[in-house]
A and B are shown apart, each in its own frame.
Chain A
């Protein structure tokens, strides 16, 4: 497809399990961003990639969170030993490059930790 694709769209997991969220950006977009949005809240910056490198990881909430991007394309966000406070919608966005602020968002992955 032409847009940003995220999977899974919904994930329900038990506390303590690991989850992996995937983002496939728009072809040719070099910048990729991950945000988290809790119910009724704004977008919390997690991490961004320029190509395969992540210049700023300061937004990751804890060391249980990690992200990688390979081939300058697909990115995965991994949450280990999930906690209930991790429940949120995880949004991925891509941009032509980091100097272009127009972000194109995916539909998000809704994570529910029981």
Chain B
């Protein structure tokens, strides 16, 4: 079983609509969860992190975490063309008392003008 799984997309969303990105992870001991955005040809940049069950909002972005279901999501409200990018889910895996940050393969998001 892959450690962090995402639908590769592409996910096409009309401008102004809500984009919903999903991620599942395999390690129940994981404590920290992150969403990174990567524009084509650029390096990833952190946009959200979440540690506790529930929702965390930051501007147009909302991260949702459900540890029981091992599920993390990112909602982007009022989607803009500039939101078109690949969104990478990352999880801090705690294994053998050492932890490392593992990324999913990313979901390509395309906002339709």
Contact = CB atoms under 8 A, between A and B. Distances in A.
What class of interface size applies to chain B in its complex with A? Answer: 20 to 34
A106 B104 contact: no
Interface in B71-102: 88, 90, 92, 98-102
Contact of B100 (A41, A48, A105): A48
A68 interface: no
Contact of A42 (B45, B92, B104): B104
Interface string A20-42: 00000000000001010000011
A101 B90 contact: yes
Interface of B: 32, 34, 36, 43-46, 49, 88, 90, 92, 98-106
Interface of A: 33, 35, 41-43, 45, 48, 55-56, 59, 91, 98-99, 101-103, 105-108
6 contacts: A43-B103, A45-B102, A45-B103, A48-B101, A91-B43, A103-B46
